[in-house]
Structure 1
Amino acid sequence: MMRATPILAALPVALMGVMLWLSATILTPHAGSLAAFDTRVLGYTLADAQAYLTALDDTGRAVYLVELRVLDTLFPITFALLLGHLTLGAAHWMHPWSRMILVLPAAAYALMDLCENALVAGLIRAGADGVNADMVNLASEFTITKWVLVLISVALLGVLWLLRRKPQQA
């Protein structure tokens, strides 16, 4: 099972690398150096969103809605698969149903990130004058929840690693 780990790790790492490069070279400069919605771990307010959307020019908007949207659709899926794979491997000594339950935070992360991406795309399409507090609050809640689930998934892996059982000698 763990033979697939390098491939499963390479996919999200490569996707993240391309996303970071696009963000650093195109998105951030075309948004007045403001942080993208997805990266704001503590969320954002209506004023934050309007400031970002005002600063984001047409080039930044196009990159966000096309290239980054495609990459950020693939990333959460591949990252959740990696987290789930590592969780299953780290909990190899547990009952299969227990192991499946432990994968739920990684799966929930992927769902939250994909929903967040759709909500952020809606904010970008609406623009600074078209967004309202409800739209921004919902997107922000998904952003925060996504980061909380990543933290839970990584912490769970750490706990499982600490609890791993060594093979018993006969």
Structure 2
Amino acid sequence: MKKFRYNFIVLIETFSQFVFKLPRFTFFNKLKEIYLKLWGNKVGKDNVFYPGIFIMPPKNMKLGSNIDFAKDVLITTKGGIEIGDRVLIGYSSKILTSNHKIPSNRKRIFTSGHTNSKVIIESDVWIGSNVIILPGVSIGEGSVIAAGSVVTKDIESYSIYAGVPAKKIKDRN
């Protein structure tokens, strides 16, 4: 049974990679939206999926409309994710909703399991290239996350954050 489960996961990963390697022509973007809907996701309209994004597992998502997923974006969805309308997600960014547990008493990390925590990205957010968003984070409406930042805590609405870990630089006027 364990081998069957493993092979099933590999099959899903392979098929998802195939779907999301397709070019970002309107027809293929609609196909990608349909694929995500078949997994039970709520998906808005007119989203753009650049080739090479990786969403795994392809479920537990609520996506608004007019989201731009740039090339090589990685999203883990085990903890759940909500993304509002008109969101830009920069090249090679990572949105993580799951993480390994750190076991107590020096037990093995490999078998310690995972923690899952939802990520919420509100509308009109710009996430720069190579940003990492960790599990359990909420990003407020109208915010900007500078390229290369690591988001470890909630982000205020209409503000600009940068750095590792991301810190507030200023408010957006």
Q: TM-score, normalized by length of structure 1?
A: 0.31
The two structures have a TM-score, normalised by structure 2, of: 0.31
Larger Rg: 1
Q: Which has the higher helix share?
A: 1
| Structure with more contact order per residue of length (Cα contacts < 8 Å, sep ≥ 6) | 1
